[in-house]
Amino acid sequence: MTGLRQRMTVAAAAVVLAVLVTAAVFALLRIESGATRHAEDEGRMTLRLWEGLLDQSAAAARVAVGDPRLTDALERGNAATAAERLGALGFTAVTVVNGAGQTLLAVPADQPIRLLDERRIGQVLARNDTQDGLVLTGGAAQLLLARPLGAQRPADRALVAIRPLTGGLEALAGVLGGSAFLVGSDGTLYGHAGPLAWADVRSAAERGEEVQASIGARGYGVRKLRLPKVAGTEGDGTLYLVTVRETTLATMADSLLDSSAILVVLMMLVAGTLGLDWYFRRVFTPVYASMSALSALAAGDTGVAVLGAERTDEAGQLARTVEVFRSRSRALRDAEERRARHWLRQQSFIRRQMLRLSETLPEQGRRELLADLARIEAASEGRTPCARTDDPGALAVAFEVMAERVRDQHTALDGMVRQLQAALDTRTELLELQKQFEIARRMQAAILPSDLTTPPDLEASGLMRPAAEFDGSFYDFFLTADGSLAVLIGQVSGGGLAAGFMTVTARAALRTLAAAGLGPAACLTGANRLLAADNAAGLSIGLAMGIVSPRSRRLVFAAAGVPEPFLLRRFGDVVDLPVAANPPLGLDPAMTAVETALDLPVPSTLVLCNGGLLDGENRFGVAFGRARLTGILGNLDDLSAASVTAAVSAGLAEHGGGAAMAVDRLCVALRVRA
C-alpha cells in the first residue's frame, strides 16, 4: 500500500510538473513572439525616424542653398566670398555648371562636384526647382542639392552643393540614446555619431540584422537596417544604418526575472508534492487494516477480525466487502469438506460396481479393467482432498472413457487424416502467396531511391514504413535534365504481385516522361494512359509529382488520389498547400491531370504523404490523422528534410506502438534553403 501511495504521489507530481513545464514553454514562446514583433516595430520606427531627420536636413539645406549672399558670390564668380559663406552654411563644396555639364566654378577649386550628368542637369534647369538626394562622396554620406542659378528663366546655369549628414546622425543617436553609423556593404564607414567607435561594433554588425554583443564589460543591442540605394563615386551604392543601444540593465533584469520564475516553479512543485503525499497518506491509512485482513484470508486464515466496517466512507465499504469475503470463504471451506466426504463414498461405490462388472468379463478383459482401476486409484491417492472435490465423478468418467475407447480412437484417426489433408493444401497455398509477397517486396525495395546529390539550396529526405503485407507504395526523387529536383510518391489500391508490377510501371513511366522535359501534369496524364491500357486486375494508383527549380524556387505540382501537401514556412507555421485535385490513375484512359504552380518561400519545407499515413489505424482503431501530423510538424525547431522525416517516423512509432499496419505509410520532405 505504501508503494501504491508513493507511485500515486510521484505520478501526480509528474502531472503537476508537466503542466508547469507546458505553461512555461507557452509563456516563453509568447515572450519570444512578442520580442520579435517588438524588434520589428523598433526597426520600422528607427527607419521612419531616420527618414524624418533626413527630410528635416534636406529642408534646411534647401533654405541654405538659396542664401542670397552665396548665390550672389557665385554669380559674380567671387570664389573667396563663396568659400567663406559656404563654411557658414555648413556645405562641404559647391560647383556651378552649365547646361552641358561643364564646370564653370568650383569651391573649393580642387573639389568639383561631378555627380550629375548632362541629363540630370537639364532636368534641374527645366523644372526650375531645387532637387536633393543622398550620395556617397569624399568618404562620407552627404546630401546633394541642385538648383538653377541666376534670375534668368529658364536658367542656363545650375548650382550643385553637398552637405554632410552629421547633424541628422547626431539627432538620431541622441533620440535612441546610443550610437549611429552609416556604412557600406563592405563595412566602409560613411558617417558616425555617438560614443562608440565603428571598430568596436563592426564585427557584431556583420553577424546579422539584430544581434546582441558585448563591448567592454557592457552589453549592447546592434540593429542593421538597409537603406535605399544611393549614387556616388564610392562603393556599390548600398548603404546601411547601424544603431547601437546599451542593453546591460535590461539583460540583468531579464536574467533576474527568469531566475525568480524558476525558483517559484520549483517551490510550487515541492509544495504540491508534499501536499499530495500528506493527502494520500491520510486517505490510504484507513485502508491498511482491510488490506491486512484480506491478505490473511488469502493465506487461509478465516478467523481474522475485520475492523472498520462501521465507517461510512470508502474505507468502511472496503471493510464490509472483506467481511463478506471472509464469510463466503468459511462457507466454501465447509462445502469443500462435505464434497470430500461425498467423493469418498462415491469412490467406494464405483469400486464395488467395477469389481462386480469385472466378474462378468473374460479373463483378459477382467485383467485390463482391474489394471485401469488400480491406475485410477493410484492417481487419486496422490491428490489432496480439495483437489478431489473438484472432480467428484472422476472414476465414473474414467469408466465411460474405457467403454468408448475404440470408437473414439477411430473417430480421432479420421479427423486427423482430414486435418492433415487440409493442412497440406493450406500450406501449399501459403507458400505460393509468400513467394509472391517476397518478389513484390524485393521489387518495392529495389525502386526506393539511394542517396542523391541535391543542389546546394535543396534537400530531400524520404520515409517508408512498410505494411504487414505488401501494399505496393513507393517514393522517389531525382534530378531532371535542367538541374531541377523531381519528387514522387505513389500508392496502389491493392497488394500482391499485380500491385508490384503496377508500382514499377508507374515509376518507370514518370521517370521517362520527366526525362523528356514534360511537366508533372503531362507526366501523370501519360502514365495514366499507359496504366489504364493494360489493367486487367482493375487496380488504381494514387500518384503525386512535384518539380522544384533551384534557381527560381518555383514548384510545379500535380496530384492524383493523394492528400494535399503541407508547407512549413517557419517554426510553428504549418499550412495546407492548396493544389488542384485529380482522381486516382489507371481506371480512365481519357483523364487529363491538372497541375498547380507556385513560388516557395525561402526558407521553407514541403512535406508530402500518402493516404495510408493519415488513415492508418492503430490497435485501438484510432487513425493517425492530418491534425496529429500538423501538430508534429508545428512543434519542430529544425525544419531540415531529415529532421522532418525523423520526427514523423517517431510520431508513427508512438501512434502504432511499433507494430506493422495493413498499408504502407510514406512521407517525403523537400527543404528549400535561403
Per-residue model confidence as pLDDT tens digits over 273-303: 788 777 777 666 667 667 777 777 777 776 7
How far is the C-alpha of 108 from the C-alpha of 333, rounded, in Å? 125
Residue that the C-alpha cell 568650383 belongs to: 106
Please indicate, yes or no, if residue 64 is contained in any of the structural domains: no
Neighbours of 569 (CB within 10 A): 15
Give the three-class secondary structure for 381. helix
DSSP 64: H
Please indicate, yes or no, if residue 220 is contained in any of the structural domains: yes
How far is the C-alpha of 50 from the C-alpha of 56, rounded, in Å? 10
Residues 621 and 528 in one domain: yes
More confident of the two residues 283 and 125: 125
- Domain range spanning residue 523? 454-672
Please indicate, yes or no, if residue 179 is contained in any of the structural domains: yes
Q: What is the pLDDT of residues 329-358, one digit of tens each?
A: 778 888 888 888 887 777 777 777 777 766
Task: Kindly report which listed range (200-214, 299-313, 609-623) carries the lowest average pLDDT score.
Answer: 299-313
Residues 318 and 295 in one domain: no
| pLDDT of 164 higher than 70 | yes
- Ramachandran sector of residue 517 (left: φ over 0; alpha: ψ -120 to 50; beta: rest): left
- Please report the pLDDT score of residue 406 as a whole number: 42
- Count CA within 13 A, CB hemisphere, residue 658: 0
Residues 280 and 379 in one domain: no
Residues 543 and 616 in one domain: yes
Residues 533 and 647 in one domain: yes
How far is the C-alpha of 82 from the C-alpha of 94, rounded, in Å? 9
Please indicate, yes or no, if residue 60 is contained in any of the structural domains: no
Domain finish residue from 403, 418, 439: 403
Q: What percent of the chain has pLDDT over 70?
A: 83
Residues 290 and 348 in one domain: no
Please indicate, yes or no, if residue 98 is contained in any of the structural domains: no
Residue that the C-alpha cell 497541375 belongs to: 595
How far is the C-alpha of 467 from the C-alpha of 656, rounded, in Å? 12
Domain finish residue from 201, 222, 246: 246
Please indicate, yes or no, if residue 114 is contained in any of the structural domains: no
Total domains present in the chain:
4
| pLDDT of 444 higher than 60 | no
Preceding peptide of 108 cis, ω within 30°: yes
Domain finish residue from 383, 403, 423: 403
| pLDDT of 468 higher than 80 | no
- Assign residue 581 the CATH number of its domain: 3.60.40.10
- Please report the pLDDT score of residue 30 as a whole number: 78
Task: Kindly report which listed range (83-97, 182-196, 374-388, 414-428) carries the lowest average pLDDT score.
Answer: 374-388
Residues 397 and 477 in one domain: no
Residues 256 and 384 in one domain: no
Cβ atoms of residues 231 and 115 within 8 Å:
yes
Residues 482 and 596 in one domain: yes
pTM: 0.40
- Please report the pLDDT score of residue 447 as a whole number: 62
| pLDDT of 596 higher than 90 | yes
Cβ atoms of residues 596 and 576 within 8 Å:
no
Cell of 92: 562641404
In the chain, helix, strand, coil percent, each to 5? 50, 20, 25
Residues 240 and 256 in one domain: no
Residues 216 and 260 in one domain: no
Beta partners for residue 601, in sequence order = none
How far is the C-alpha of 176 from the C-alpha of 43, rounded, in Å? 12
Cell of 509: 513511366
Please indicate, yes or no, if residue 47 is contained in any of the structural domains: no
- Please report the pLDDT score of residue 497 as a whole number: 67
H-only helix segments in 448-519: 496-515
Please indicate, yes or no, if residue 497 is contained in any of the structural domains: yes
- Please report the pLDDT score of residue 389 as a whole number: 46
Residues 35 and 175 in one domain: no
- Please report the pLDDT score of residue 401 as a whole number: 47
- Please report the pLDDT score of residue 191 as a whole number: 87
